[in-house]
């Protein structure tokens, strides 16, 4: 099937090609508004202060390299069971289910960014700040660092960070369009009806030498 044949085929089923994508987008829009809760993300940043044991003989490069490795270890520690359990306990929670924790740290910096996402905006900020406080205490106990200092405390977010309803609707629209095209093409492939003289000649491999006119009831 050539591109022109596909376009002609879609034109014949234009109603399906238009209605199905719009219906999918409408259903997704209604579903996302009624059943998808808004989520909020609270973010705090921390600076890892490493103990300086060198007397001046070490190079600056080695100091920075060691500090960055320690920073990565602290970032990993934020996702540990000990930090999450102590955070939940300090907030009077059984666990941190419902809170999505994301930790990022640059390879060339000692700054760690901690983001907590939840349907509870105030709860997300409380969890982020509590985790920052607990990781500082735990890191000093299990690692050779001086402290983990909070640069910016997490504030209660006012605007939701998700879900991205426009993206969901756009994806549903495209999915509906692809489904409509697939249905039209598949139906055409399964249709064995001969619709033109050219199709008959191609099927038989011989030219058509005559036609029988269609007889209508009650006249010619």
Contact 104, 43 (CB under 8 A): no
Q: How many CB atoms lie within 10 A of CB 88?
A: 19
pLDDT value of residue 210:
63
pLDDT value of residue 166:
95
Phi and psi, residue 114, nearest 5°: -120, 125
Q: How far apart are CA 52 and CA 50, in angstroms?
A: 6
Contact 156, 87 (CB under 8 A): no
Residue 44, strand partner residues: 114
pLDDT value of residue 34:
92
pLDDT value of residue 43:
96
Q: How far apart are CA 109 and CA 60, in angstroms?
A: 14
Q: Where in the chain is the domain with CATH 3.30.70.1130?
A: 40-152
Residues in the chain where the model's pLDDT stays below 70: 1, 51-66, 192-206, 208-220
pLDDT value of residue 2:
79
pLDDT tens figures, 119-142: 999 999 999 999 999 999 998 888
pLDDT value of residue 99:
95
What is the C-alpha R_g of the chain? 32
CATH of 40-152, one of 3.40.50.300, 1.10.287.3510, 3.30.70.1130, 2.60.120.10: 3.30.70.1130
pLDDT value of residue 59:
42
Q: How far apart are CA 131 and CA 91, in angstroms?
A: 10
């Amino acid at each position: 099937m050539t591109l022109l044949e596909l376009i002609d085929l879609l034109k014949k089923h234009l109603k399906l090609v238009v209605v199905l994508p719009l219906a999918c987008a409408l259903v997704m829009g209604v579903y996302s508004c009624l059943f998808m809760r808004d989520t909020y993300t609270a973010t705090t940043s921390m600076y890892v202060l490493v103990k300086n044991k060198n007397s001046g003989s070490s190079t600056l490069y080695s100091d920075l390299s060691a500090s960055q490795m320690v920073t990565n270890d602290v970032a990993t520690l934020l996702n540990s069971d000990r930090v999450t359990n102590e955070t939940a306990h300090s907030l009077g929670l059984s666990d941190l289910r419902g809170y999505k924790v994301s930790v990022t740290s640059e390879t060339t910096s000692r700054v760690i960014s901690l983001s907590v996402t939840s349907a509870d905006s105030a709860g997300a900020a409380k969890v982020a700040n509590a985790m920052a406080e607990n990781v500082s205490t735990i890191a000093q106990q299990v690692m050779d660092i001086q402290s983990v200092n909070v640069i910016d405390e997490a504030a209660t977010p006012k605007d939701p960070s998700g879900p991205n309803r426009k993206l969901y609707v756009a994806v549903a629209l495209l999915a509906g369009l692809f489904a409509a095209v697939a249905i039209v093409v598949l139906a055409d492939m399964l249709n064995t009806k001969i619709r033109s003289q050219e199709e008959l000649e191609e099927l038989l491999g011989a030219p058509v030498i005559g036609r029988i006119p269609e007889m209508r009831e009650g006249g010619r």
